[in-house]
A = this chain, B = another copy of it.
Amino acid sequence: MKRIRVGFVGCGIHSTMNLYPSIPYAPIDLVSVCDLDTERRENARKWFGAEAAYASIEELLAGPPIDAVLVCGPPDLHRSAGVAALRAGKPVFMEKPPAENLAGALEVREAARASGVICMVGFMKRFALRYREAKEIAAGPDFGALTHVFFKYSHWDMPTPHDMLMYMTVHPLDLMRFFLGEIERVTIDRVERGGQSAYTLVFRARGGAIGNLLTGAHQPRLKERLEVVGEGAFVAVNNLVELEYHRRVEARRHFTNDLGDIDLVRPDFAIPNPNQNTLFLQGYADELKEFASAVLEKRAPSVTIEDGVEAMRLMELMERTALHASYVRSGEEWVEG
């Protein structure tokens, strides 16, 4: 078996703009689609060449044979369709967040553990081209030990504070874990203005590095910036697509601006090829490749429901913090301290 046959649950705008179009880049054959809305599922079927379209996950599971299920819709659909597919023994790829709250995420995890099949959560930023390059640079011998990770993720106002966490904050929380590794302490400061929250989170990783996440719903536009500091070296990714690597320099060169100090990686958008295509720049194509490959190789994918649960745990801490609090890890839980 070199390719997988999948059913896709959810035919909304995000799915059809970003996930379905990524399928041709992975060893995935789209077999069936599913959506409550007739027009949406018919469009998805037609545009992306599925054999069948259904109104429910049950029908989809009973339809033409599939090796795995992809789910992308509202968070509670991720949970309900995800659990149904897992119970049917189908490996699942689900968009983040894995559920509408931590309890739901734990339910998905339980179903995945019980079934013993793969449950990947679509934290596509881990697969974004520049972030993968930044991770590689940070792991290289010239970079030194990881010292500081900064991430900014700010955006417009959201209907509710819970929506902010669920639809937006879940991204940077996972990415901080991706770059920092396991976290032992988190300090949260929060400010409310006009019914919207802004946060600064400070993380302490097991390895000693500190992380700093700045996020909030008071900024026009959606802005994202990553900075990773080693011992004398530095890599930043600005606006998802532009990377600067500031190499370690000898002390005597600190006051100069020399050729070779800064490496720049930037797409030439005039070229319509994968390295400039937003499906690759944003990580959608490669997360599906990873899922297909994990299913084919019967191995855990690089990001699973366990990571989904961890992000939800941090979201819960943020939700419960009024102004300022510090939490340390105790087993699976976070406790104030």
> Which chain A residues have a beta carbon within 8 Å of chain B's beta carbons?
14, 16-18, 21, 23-24, 29, 43, 45-50, 129, 133, 137, 144-145, 147-148, 150, 152-154, 156-157, 185, 187, 189-191, 193-194, 196, 198, 200, 202, 204, 208-210, 212, 214, 216, 218-224, 227, 229-234, 239-241, 244-249, 251, 254-278, 281-282, 284, 323-324, 326
A231 cross-chain contacts in B, Cβ below 8 A: 193-194, 196, 218
Shortest distance from the beta carbon of A74 to any chain B beta carbon, whole Å? 17
- Would you call B16 and A221 a contact (CB within 8 A)? no
CB-CB < 8 A to A210: which residues of B? 189-191, 198, 200
Which chain B residues lie closer than 8 Å to A324 at the CB level? 185, 187, 204, 326
Contact status B268-A239, CB under 8 Å: yes
Q: Which residue of B lies closest to A234 (CB)?
A: B219
If A266-B257, A268-B224 touch, whether A216 touches B229 (CB-CB below 8 Å) is yes
* Oligomer copy total: 4
In the complex, A115→B144 CA distance in Å? 52
Residues of chain B within 8 A (CB-CB) of A224 are 268-270
Q: Decide: A278 and B278 in contact? CB cutoff 8 A.
A: yes
When the two chains form their complex, are residues A221 and B269 in contact, meaning their CB atoms are under 8 A apart? no
Give A270 to B239 CA distance when docked, in angstroms. Answer: 7
CA gap between A220 and B45 in the complex, in Å? 42
Q: Are the C-beta atoms of A268 and B223 separated by less than 8 Å?
A: yes
Residue of B nearest to A25 (CB): B17
A22 nearest in chain B by CB position: B21
**Cα(A14)–Cα(B255), bound, Å:** 13
Across the interface, do A218 and B147 meet the contact criterion of CB distance under 8 Å? yes
Contacts A/B (CB < 8 Å), 15 sampled: A129-B257, A144-B193, A144-B218, A156-B232, A198-B229, A218-B231, A220-B248, A220-B261, A221-B254, A224-B268, A239-B267, A258-B265, A261-B264, A269-B281, A278-B281
6 A-B pairs with the lowest CB-CB distances in the bound complex, closest first: A49-B49, A240-B269, A224-B270, A262-B264, A264-B264, A222-B268
Please pick, from B46, B152, B185, B233, the residue contacting A49 in the complex, using a CB distance under 8 A: B46
- B144 near A194 with CB under 8 A, answer yes
Pair A232/B218 contact, Cβ less than 8 Å? yes
Q: Which residues of B contact A221 (CB under 8 A)?
A: 234, 246, 249, 254, 261-262, 268
**A147 and B261 contact, Cβ closer than 8 Å, known pairs A268-B239, A272-B17:** no
Chain B residue numbers with a CB within 8 Å of A259 are 133, 137, 245, 263, 265
